[in-house]
A and B are shown apart, each in its own frame.
Chain A
Amino acid sequence: MHVGIIFFLVILGSVLFHIFTPWYWTDVASNWGGMDDTITLTFWIGGGVFIAVCLFMIYCVFKFSYKKDRKAEYKPEDKKLEKILTWATTLGVAALLAPGLIIWNQYVNVPKNAIEIDVMAWQWGWQYRLPGEDGKLGTTKVVNINDNNPFGINLDDPFGNDDVMIQSDVINLENNRPVKILLRSVDVLHNWYVPQFRAKMDAVPGIVTYYWFEPNKTGEFEVLCAEYCGVGHYAMRGGVEVQDKQDYDNWLQQQETFSDLIAKQKILENEKTKLAKK
């Protein structure tokens, strides 16, 4: 008797925990609210199945526990029942899969007006690059990276000169404008993840990966590395600040471009040679 009661309390406790939990997802701050909706739907269907199966089991424990003078039913199979259950399950699974795939279709198809951002990861930090007025990022190579060229931009690529370089681990984004995050890494796997945006993707050395989202809440958010990248993984944080258009434009104007950086370095070098001559 007590066995059934304890199992029942476990199920009841699970439901109550789910209803009253203070631990739940953060408010979504991007266009991916559909992911939350699919999770909720899965909770309803999956949770319903979990509760139904467990309650059925508990009922059996109450109703059919051992009595010496009783014999169990002898029924090797029931084809009709098995068929009904198979099709009902298939239907339930399809109902969950469909919205999942629809949202995935949106996830892999980036809107045309998305601004591209180069997110470069290394052990253990982040840096960001935005396209300049030409709207295009210059191509890069890991071997080009040095103090004078922190992003490894190919010097013969004309698109690279006006790229905006943000040598900080915090990037600003314009509210309500889709961004395509282009991820690359110079050493090991990383993952640029902001829980409130829901989206994530690994940064893989050797290739460029991508995902997109559209921030829809202004404010500051923390970036966490979500793919294990060695002993400093837990400390690999960054930041995002989502701003309205005006604030964002102001911020953008203060940033340095690649050609600015080259010019500055030339001046420095000239001064050095002058000093050496003296």
Chain B
Amino acid sequence: MSEDFNDNKTIQAQSSEAISGGGSGIGADADYVRPAEVADQDLYHGHSFITKWIFCQDAKVIGVQYFLLATFTGIIGLILSWLMRLQLGFPGLAPFMTAEHYYQFVTMHGMIMVVYFLTALFLGGFGNYLIPLMVGARDMVFPYLNMVSFWSFFVAVAVLLASFFVPGGPTGSGWTLYPPQAILEGTPGSGWGIMLMCISLILFVAGFTMGGLNYLITVLQARTRGMTLMRMPLTVWGIFTATVLAMLAFPALLVGALMMSLDNVLGTSFFMPTILKAGEVLEYGGGSPILFQHLFWFFGHPEVYIVALPAFGIISDLISVHARKNIFGYRMMVWAIVGIGALSFFVWAHHMYVSGMNPWFGFFFATTTLIIAVPTAMKVYNWILTLWRGNIRLNTVMLWCLGFIVTFVNGGITGIFLGNVSVDVPLSDTYFVIAHFHMVMGIAPLMVIMGAVYHWFPLVSGRFLDEKLGKWHFWLTFLGAYSIYFPMHYLGFIGVPRRYFEMYDSPYVTSAVGMNEFISIAAFIVGAAQFILIYNIIKTLKTGKPAGHNPWQACSLEWLTPSVPPEHGNWGDRLPTVHRWAYDFSVPGAKEDFITQTTPPSEVANTEVEKT
């Protein structure tokens, strides 16, 4: 650790020498390598409070802004889930809980968690903070656009939350927003609510496109000298590929939201066939409700991977650093990320096996869906093979990693049930589906987020989070969440349909009452446990143990900035030069059990490095 600190000092000293050497400055320094072919990026340095912390153009601050706003929205989603579980576990206990409210909470919970929490947090939060640091750039390539991206997200969230206060309340059409019911009376919020939801989504997509272009071009164009694509940390690969998916998938959602708004406001019939409502034939005709489902899921399925791929990347880095071992099969991992990303555009209709689309599509989509299981399984094997013969630190970060592996494999296996077309028939639209996707894209990514927070908090704040609180947080969350979703699959086997406000006394669901109570109580506990993290952050921001430079002895660039936390511009006077991949842990012959990416081969001459 201290050695590393000295390294940085030397680089700085050299660079100031080079600058004071006059002329081109290059001749004065024999080791000097130009970090880029083009001139260094000009950055806008804010001086007032507003330009520094509010309308800020520093990707790191924007990342934190995204993180905080996404977390705030996520807490609203969490409270909504509590209200839903209150109704399901203890129906009739809350006097305000009508069927209308229940469906509104279901809808807002789903949309908030998938789009405004997970997507914004992984790409907007981690993407902004980590991409420039990990590839050795001074900032995102378009800092101003990046700022606008965050504020578009802010407006999108404001519009979304405003729908709680409009006449009729927020939309209660389910997060999938299927027409015709989404815009017909009979669904709560079919007027104002769905309108604001569509506007909010359009704003989100617009803002997200600005951010997404930034991530892509930064990764492609602003990597420092020596940072080849195949030396990038998998976190960057995951976020990069997810952004490509987002750029291609979000337009489908945008178009769907626009067309449905037109149906709603102007009376077009994109998604609206002839409809008889309360004895009267409405002025629609000829539209196709299934067309909307295709548009929605053409976005919706890649969306799963927009969340999952950054999680895959981050977890790979966390496991590698804390197992003190290189990620096993790096190249396979990269190609698996890219392959999963590409395949994810050919599987969308597995959400629609029983939607009434041409049933012959089922053969195609079941096959593509099960093919995607192969690269995904390879990733799982490589994570556990990274643990094999490692030197595993069982700290809080590693606990979240282990929790991720268990929940992700569990949720992945149930995905094979649902992807396998005829097995999906009895299970679709039941609680089995709810259990599956919460396990695989709710809890598993949440484990990654938490692991990442405990891992990178020392970089962002310069202090460690409290380990003891962290372990409480982990065990309550992991054991609680697992006992919510594992038994829930079995409700699906009984045949309990999803989106039921109340079950009445159907003979085969009365047996589920006890389980529903148990699940609700577990949900209250798991939700409450998340506030341990908030307490931990507030507490350790001031009193936590100072972390210093590279506290985890990691190899990747984000830990090698001259100051911790990194300043605006990240790298001081000179950009780093990269000599190896991000995973040179425990190299035979090396003095320490890690070699940083900036260490030139001459400094570690006697080591047997295989992959650089």
Flag if A32 contacts B487 (CB, 8 Å). Answer: no
Residue of A with least CB distance to B500: A234
Flag if A231 contacts B387 (CB, 8 Å). Answer: no
Confirm or deny: B548 has a beta carbon within 8 angstroms of a beta carbon on chain A: no
Could you tell me the distance between the alpha carbons of A97 and B406 in the complex, rounded to whole angstroms? 24
Q: Give every chain A residue within 8 A of B425 (Cβ-Cβ).
A: 32, 35, 107, 198-200
Residue of A with least CB distance to B362: A104
Flag if A89 contacts B378 (CB, 8 Å). Answer: yes
Interface residues of A in 31-73 (CB under 8 A from B): 32, 34-36, 38-39, 42, 46-47, 49-50, 53-54, 56-57, 60-61, 64-67, 70-73
Flag if B384 contacts A188 (CB, 8 Å). Answer: no
Flag if A65 contacts B406 (CB, 8 Å). Answer: no
Flag if B381 contacts A76 (CB, 8 Å). Answer: no
Flag if B381 contacts A85 (CB, 8 Å). Answer: yes
Interface residues of B in 131-187 (CB under 8 A from A): 172-174, 178, 180-181, 184, 186-187
**Known contacts A66-B391, A72-B585, A77-B328: A54-B409 contact under CB 8 Å:** yes
Q: Interface with A: B7-15, B36-44, B416-424, B459-467, which one?
A: B416-424
Could you tell me the distance between the alpha carbons of A27 and B585 in the complex, rounded to whole angstroms? 55
* B337: min CB distance to chain A, Å: 15
Flag if A108 contacts B359 (CB, 8 Å). Answer: yes
Flag if A73 contacts B355 (CB, 8 Å). Answer: no
Could you tell me the distance between the alpha carbons of A249 and B356 in the complex, rounded to whole angstroms? 31
* B138: min CB distance to chain A, Å: 30
Confirm or deny: A133 has a beta carbon within 8 angstroms of a beta carbon on chain B: no
Interface residues of A in 2-55 (CB under 8 A from B): 3, 6-7, 10-11, 14, 17, 21-26, 32, 34-36, 38-39, 42, 46-47, 49-50, 53-54
Could you tell me the distance between the alpha carbons of A195 and B358 in the complex, rounded to whole angstroms? 23
* B408: min CB distance to chain A, Å: 10
**Known contacts A24-B493, A72-B389, A226-B429: A101-B330 contact under CB 8 Å:** no
Could you tell me the distance between the alpha carbons of A56 and B381 in the complex, rounded to whole angstroms? 10
Confirm or deny: B410 has a beta carbon within 8 angstroms of a beta carbon on chain A: yes
Q: Interface with B: A168-176, A204-212, A268-276, which one?
A: A204-212
Could you tell me the distance between the alpha carbons of A40 and B139 in the complex, rounded to whole angstroms? 52
Contact with A along B278-299 (1 / 0, CB 8 A): 0001000011111000000000
Q: Give every chain A residue within 8 A of B173 (Cβ-Cβ).
A: 228
Contact with B along A61-100 (1 / 0, CB 8 A): 1001111001111111110011001100110011011001
Flag if A77 contacts B331 (CB, 8 Å). Answer: yes
Confirm or deny: A166 has a beta carbon within 8 angstroms of a beta carbon on chain B: no
Q: Give every chain B residue within 8 A of A61 (Cβ-Cβ).
A: 387, 392, 394, 402
Flag if B387 contacts A198 (CB, 8 Å). Answer: no
Q: Give every chain B residue within 8 A of A196 (Cβ-Cβ).
A: 495
**Known contacts A206-B287, A234-B99: A101-B366 contact under CB 8 Å:** yes
Confirm or deny: A164 has a beta carbon within 8 angstroms of a beta carbon on chain B: no
Q: Give every chain A residue within 8 A of B493 (Cβ-Cβ).
A: 23-25
Could you tell me the distance between the alpha carbons of A77 and B287 in the complex, rounded to whole angstroms? 53
Flag if A66 contacts B392 (CB, 8 Å). Answer: yes
Q: Give every chain B residue within 8 A of A101 (Cβ-Cβ).
A: 363, 366-367, 421-422
Flag if B276 contacts A74 (CB, 8 Å). Answer: no
Flag if A108 contacts B360 (CB, 8 Å). Answer: yes
Partner among B181, B274, B384, B497 whose Cβ is within 8 Å of the Cβ of A206: B274
**Known contacts A53-B409, A104-B362: A225-B417 contact under CB 8 Å:** no
Could you tell me the distance between the alpha carbons of A142 and B276 in the complex, rounded to whole angstroms? 7
Interface residues of A in 221-248 (CB under 8 A from B): 222, 224-235, 237
Q: Give every chain A residue within 8 A of B367 (Cβ-Cβ).
A: 97, 101
* B542: min CB distance to chain A, Å: 29
Q: Give every chain B residue within 8 A of A60 (Cβ-Cβ).
A: 384, 387-388, 390, 392
Q: Give every chain B residue within 8 A of A142 (Cβ-Cβ).
A: 273-276, 281
Could you tell me the distance between the alpha carbons of A190 and B9 in the complex, rounded to whole angstroms? 68
Q: Give every chain B residue within 8 A of A252 (Cβ-Cβ).
A: none
Q: Give every chain A residue within 8 A of B429 (Cβ-Cβ).
A: 191, 193, 200, 226-227
Q: Give every chain B residue within 8 A of A67 (Cβ-Cβ).
A: 391
Flag if A26 contacts B180 (CB, 8 Å). Answer: no
Confirm or deny: B506 has a beta carbon within 8 angstroms of a beta carbon on chain A: yes
Confirm or deny: B536 has a beta carbon within 8 angstroms of a beta carbon on chain A: no
Could you tell me the distance between the alpha carbons of A42 and B100 in the complex, rounded to whole angstroms? 38
Partner among A3, A42, A105 whose Cβ is within 8 Å of the Cβ of B416: A42
Could you tell me the distance between the alpha carbons of A143 and B285 in the complex, rounded to whole angstroms? 11
Partner among A104, A227, A230, A234 whose Cβ is within 8 Å of the Cβ of B422: A104
Interface residues of B in 471-519 (CB under 8 A from A): 475, 479, 482, 486-487, 490-491, 493-495, 497-504, 506-508, 511-512, 515
Confirm or deny: A186 has a beta carbon within 8 angstroms of a beta carbon on chain B: yes
Confirm or deny: B371 has a beta carbon within 8 angstroms of a beta carbon on chain A: yes
Q: Give every chain A residue within 8 A of B366 (Cβ-Cβ).
A: 97, 100-101, 104
Contact with A along B61-98 (1 / 0, CB 8 A): 00000000000000000000000000000000000000
Could you tell me the distance between the alpha carbons of A53 and B332 in the complex, rounded to whole angstroms? 19
Confirm or deny: A203 has a beta carbon within 8 angstroms of a beta carbon on chain B: yes
**Known contacts A89-B377, A204-B290: A97-B494 contact under CB 8 Å:** no
**A to B CB contacts below 8 Å, 7 in the list:** A72-B325, A76-B583, A97-B366, A203-B356, A224-B506, A231-B103, A233-B500
B interface list, Cβ under 8 A from A: 99-100, 103, 172-174, 178, 180-181, 184, 186-188, 273-277, 281, 286-290, 323-326, 328-332, 354-356, 359-360, 362-363, 366-367, 370-371, 373-374, 377-378, 380-381, 384-385, 387-394, 399, 402, 405-406, 409-410, 413-414, 416-417, 420-423, 425-430, 475, 479, 482, 486-487, 490-491, 493-495, 497-504, 506-508, 511-512, 515, 583, 585-588, 593, 608, 610-611
Supply 5 further A-B pairs (C-beta < 8 A) apart from A187-B181, A188-B181: A7-B402, A46-B414, A70-B391, A71-B391, A72-B389
**Which 5 pairs from chain A and chain B are nearest by CB?**
A206-B273, A195-B495, A100-B420, A73-B389, A46-B413
